[in-house]
Amino acid sequence: MAAQESERTKCQVYSRVVGFITPTENWNKGKLEEFKDRVTYDQVLEQAE
């Protein structure tokens, strides 16, 4: 398992805040906790029949 972990490439997570896309690694502790608490959902629009 240790060999696999050393071969992994670090990925960055981005989030859109007030129109700007920023990497979450630059955020402070409070903003990261807020990000973890966010609820995401997909909205399905009803089509008119």
- Residue with the larger pLDDT of the pair 19 and 24: 24
Q: What confidence category does residue 38 fall into, taking pLDDT thresholds of 50, 70 and 90?
A: confident
pTM reported for the whole predicted model? 0.48
Residue that wins the pLDDT comparison between 28 and 41:
28
Q: Among residues of the chain, what percentage have pLDDT more than 90?
A: 6
Average pLDDT value for the chain: 78
**In terms of C-beta density within 10 A (0-12 exposed, 13-18 middle, 19 or more buried), how is residue 27 classed?**
middle
H-helix segments, 1-49? 2-7, 29-37
Q: What is the DSSP letter of 27?
A: S
Facing residues of 21 across strands?
16
- The answer for residues whose C-beta is within 8 angstroms of residue 17's C-beta and 6 or more apart is none
Evaluate if residue 45 carries a pLDDT over 70.
no
